[in-house]
Homo-oligomer: A and B are copies of this chain.
Amino acid sequence: MGEPVRSDRAGELRASDAGREVRLAGWVASRRDLGGVVFLVLRDASGEAQVVVDPQAVPAAGEVAKDLRDEYCITVSGTVRPRPDGTVNPGMATGEIEVAAADVRVLSPSDPLPFQIDDRADVDEVRRLQWRYLDLRRPRMKANLIARSRAVSAMRRSMEGQGFLEVETPTLIRSTPEGARDMLVPSRLRAGSFYALPQSPQLFKQLLMIGGVERYYQIARCYRDEDFRSDRQLEFAQLDLEGAFWGRDDVLATLESVMVEVARELRGVELSTPFPRLTYREAMARYGTDKPDVRLGMEICDLGGAFAGTGFKAFAGVLDAGGVVRGINAGPLGMGRSGLDALGDLAKGAGAKGLAWLVVEDDGSLRSPIAKFLGDDEAAAVKEAMGAGPGDTLLLVADTPEIAAPALDRVRRHLGEPDDPDELAFLWVIDFPVFEKAPDGSLAPAHHPFTSPHDVDEMGSDPEHALSHAYDLVLNGSELGSGSVRIHDPEVQRRVFEILGISDEEAESRFGWFLEALRYGTPPHAGFAVGIDRLVSILQGEPNIREVIPFPKTQTGADPLTKAPTPVAADQLAELGLEAAGEDADGVAGGDGAAGEGGGASAG
């Protein structure tokens, strides 16, 4: 197969290599022609090195160099030499040397580029995705790919060190009748039947526990066909794990070890463990959210005491109706009326009727549209409850707890900024309610029906207050993942279905095969899943998970590079026992123009 394409990696050359004959291969990152002498920066995966082509000394190489353009793929043979005095580049790892070219060859030319291979260029995301292979050559994307690989490797190292077995679960699984968000795969051998792609390996990992595996993990590809939000993809990877004969605290400790390993790998920091734990109720009371960013300070105060018996009718009415008055001390905001109004709009956007503001003047008095309604005692009580001093701005919401919480969370996230942008604030939120309350007050199960309640009797008798052994991992205000202790007792499982309003017939048709499995000596078990995209994007300081996914889809599920998804021919559908709705068998499936559009789909 001939001589090796290269002898050295460009980014690894150092002053000590001076005098060596080397052969490099890579891409032309830049090219300058200075009085006939051509200076190239040659880039490969290891980094960059400067190459000098002197047409006087090497006419043939000079000819080749003359026609080089950015991103040509080339090889260069030559001699490493120290750069001349005054031209050393301390900002470049190879800045002390250059390669005097003896031979330059083009392995593969490049068409003119759709955008510069450069972190500084601000390129529309659809264009970046359409030429993702060029986008991946940019330093930032390269760093993100490497970081993701290292993060996943660190996870595996930690899991294996903790005695977990990696087990692959199937991705062509049974679709459940209610699986409206299932992505379906038509079967060819059994035309008219379908597999589903897994939303998670949930039931298979529970089967592995029943199968005696005891410690399972997997980097699992999962699929969720939901309306795209800025941070979701149709397919995503999660660190999925489950253990038998253990409980919540074992899960939490295991995950903490994983996060310690990942943070060490990507950030070089030592996280301190255990991570703080907040119950769901604490989190909601203090931060108005179940995924608090505790770096931001500004904890929420309940002002029910301060306003007990208030003469201010707006607050009194809310409190009398069972609502709350809560607020945050936003500190010395120094905001004018329009800024404060904008904050009010934020709160209203979260459903609140309004946001009251009070500024503490130097003399301790309160400046506020509602100041005139407050008694001196009330004003003092509010200031005391919120630890407020001169200059502080206090922001209050009076509403139901379900509305006050997200409204204040939103304002808080808008105003807050971490003291140290590199801080990693991991925490656990535990003891989630079994049911979550919809805005209309109705109750809906907050988790999958295999989640263990604290007390199945309480779940039936007092659903609104019943708690489950479910827990979330939160980092800097983002949910990284969630898990729970599972039900291992078939009788408890039966009662939970009953309380959830799932009839025996329905349970049997949806999960019969799993319910049978529970009857063969099921160990107590618990588990967790961590979204890898979100974790890596936060650790990399990326605002968007698509930056850490090699080939993501846009928010409408399109791939601007390959133009997937595409229509398929009617005869291909016919083989699967299908046809396009409303068309006869000779019609072409799919509407025109349905494929290939990426436009407008990628911002955010």
Structural contact, A245 and B585, CB atoms closer than 8 A: no
Q: Report B-chain residues with C-beta under 8 Å of the C-beta of A110.
A: 519-521
Annotate A556-583 by CB proximity to B: 1 below 8 A, 0 otherwise. 1111011111111100111111111110
Structural contact, B565 and A190, CB atoms closer than 8 A: yes
Nearest-CB residue, chain B, relative to A70 = B521
- Which stretch (A173-181, A301-309, A348-356, A435-443) binds chain B? A173-181
Structural contact, A557 and B190, CB atoms closer than 8 A: yes
Structural contact, B108 and A172, CB atoms closer than 8 A: no
Q: A5, A73, A513, A565 — which one has the most chain B CB atoms within 10 A of its CB? A: A565
A window 163-183: CB within 8 A of B: 165-175, 177, 180, 183
Structural contact, B107 and A235, CB atoms closer than 8 A: no
Q: How far is the CA of A556 from the CA of B193 in the complex (A)?
A: 12
Q: How far is the CA of A544 from the CA of B133 in the complex (A)?
A: 39
Task: Determine how close the nearest CB of chain B comes to the CB of A204; give it in whole angstroms.
Answer: 6
Q: Report B-chain residues with C-beta under 8 Å of the C-beta of A189.
A: 227-228, 556-557
Interface residue? A401 (CB, 8 A): no
Task: Determine how close the nearest CB of chain B comes to the CB of A140; give it in whole angstroms.
Answer: 13
Out of B25, B215, B235, B568, name the residue touching A171 (CB < 8 Å). B235
Interface residue? A387 (CB, 8 A): no
Structural contact, A108 and B522, CB atoms closer than 8 A: yes
- Which stretch (A13-21, A392-400, A590-598) binds chain B? A590-598
Q: Report B-chain residues with C-beta under 8 Å of the C-beta of A567.
A: 192-194
Q: Report B-chain residues with C-beta under 8 Å of the C-beta of A137.
A: 211-212
Out of B28, B145, B581, name the residue touching A578 (CB < 8 Å). B581
Q: Report B-chain residues with C-beta under 8 Å of the C-beta of A4.
A: 246, 250
Q: How far is the CA of A401 from the CA of B190 in the complex (A)?
A: 39
Interface residue? A550 (CB, 8 A): yes
Annotate A205-223 by CB proximity to B: 1 below 8 A, 0 otherwise. 0011011111100000101
Q: Report B-chain residues with C-beta under 8 Å of the C-beta of A212.
A: 27, 43-45, 136-137, 142
Q: Report B-chain residues with C-beta under 8 Å of the C-beta of A136.
A: 208, 211-213
* A166-B193 CB under 8 A given contacts A210-B133, A563-B513: no
Q: Report B-chain residues with C-beta under 8 Å of the C-beta of A558.
A: 190
Structural contact, A581 and B573, CB atoms closer than 8 A: yes
- Which stretch (A87-95, A149-157, A254-262, A271-279) binds chain B? A149-157
Interface residue? A71 (CB, 8 A): yes
Structural contact, A45 and B213, CB atoms closer than 8 A: yes
Structural contact, B177 and A569, CB atoms closer than 8 A: yes
Q: Report B-chain residues with C-beta under 8 Å of the C-beta of A134.
A: 211, 520
Out of B72, B133, B564, name the residue touching A174 (CB < 8 Å). B564
Interface residue? A402 (CB, 8 A): no
Out of B160, B237, B581, name the residue touching A585 (CB < 8 Å). B581
Out of B194, B517, B590, B595, name the residue touching A568 (CB < 8 Å). B194
Task: Determine how close the nearest CB of chain B comes to the CB of A575; give it in whole angstroms.
Answer: 8
Interface residue? A286 (CB, 8 A): no
* A590-B192 CB under 8 A given contacts A108-B489, A550-B208, A579-B578: yes
Q: How far is the CA of A559 from the CA of B514 in the complex (A)?
A: 13
Q: How far is the CA of A521 from the CA of B137 in the complex (A)?
A: 11
A window 509-552: CB within 8 A of B: 513, 517-524, 549-551
Q: How far is the CA of A100 from the CA of B337 in the complex (A)?
A: 77
Q: How far is the CA of A156 from the CA of B234 in the complex (A)?
A: 27
Q: A197, A521, A569 — which one has the most chain B CB atoms within 10 A of its CB? A: A521
Out of B175, B237, B569, B581, name the residue touching A566 (CB < 8 Å). B175
Q: Report B-chain residues with C-beta under 8 Å of the C-beta of A204.
A: 550-551
Interface residue? A146 (CB, 8 A): yes
Q: Report B-chain residues with C-beta under 8 Å of the C-beta of A192.
A: 567, 580, 589-591, 594
Q: Report B-chain residues with C-beta under 8 Å of the C-beta of A111.
A: 519-520
Q: How far is the CA of A183 from the CA of B223 in the complex (A)?
A: 15
Interface residue? A247 (CB, 8 A): yes
Interface residue? A195 (CB, 8 A): yes
Q: Report B-chain residues with C-beta under 8 Å of the C-beta of A566.
A: 174-175, 193-194
Structural contact, B569 and A577, CB atoms closer than 8 A: no
Nearest-CB residue, chain B, relative to A106 = B521
Interface residue? A249 (CB, 8 A): yes
Out of B160, B195, B559, name the residue touching A170 (CB < 8 Å). B559
Q: A177, A192, A489 — which one has the most chain B CB atoms within 10 A of its CB? A: A192
Structural contact, B591 and A235, CB atoms closer than 8 A: no
Interface residue? A2 (CB, 8 A): yes
Structural contact, A221 and B184, CB atoms closer than 8 A: no
Q: Report B-chain residues with C-beta under 8 Å of the C-beta of A562.
A: 173-174, 513
Structural contact, A133 and B519, CB atoms closer than 8 A: no
Interface residue? A186 (CB, 8 A): yes
Annotate A104-147 by CB proximity to B: 1 below 8 A, 0 otherwise. 00011111010000000000000000011111110000100110
Q: List 8 A-B contacts (CB under 8 A).
A: A28-B521, A133-B208, A133-B520, A171-B221, A184-B576, A189-B556, A193-B567, A577-B581
- Apart from the given pairs A1-B248, A185-B185, A192-B589, 10 other A-B contacts in the complex at a CB distance below 8 Å: A1-B249, A26-B245, A72-B521, A134-B520, A136-B208, A172-B183, A189-B557, A207-B561, A577-B581, A579-B579
Task: Across the A-B interface, give the 4 residue pairs with the lowest CB-CB distance, nearest first.
Answer: A136-B211, A192-B590, A174-B564, A193-B565
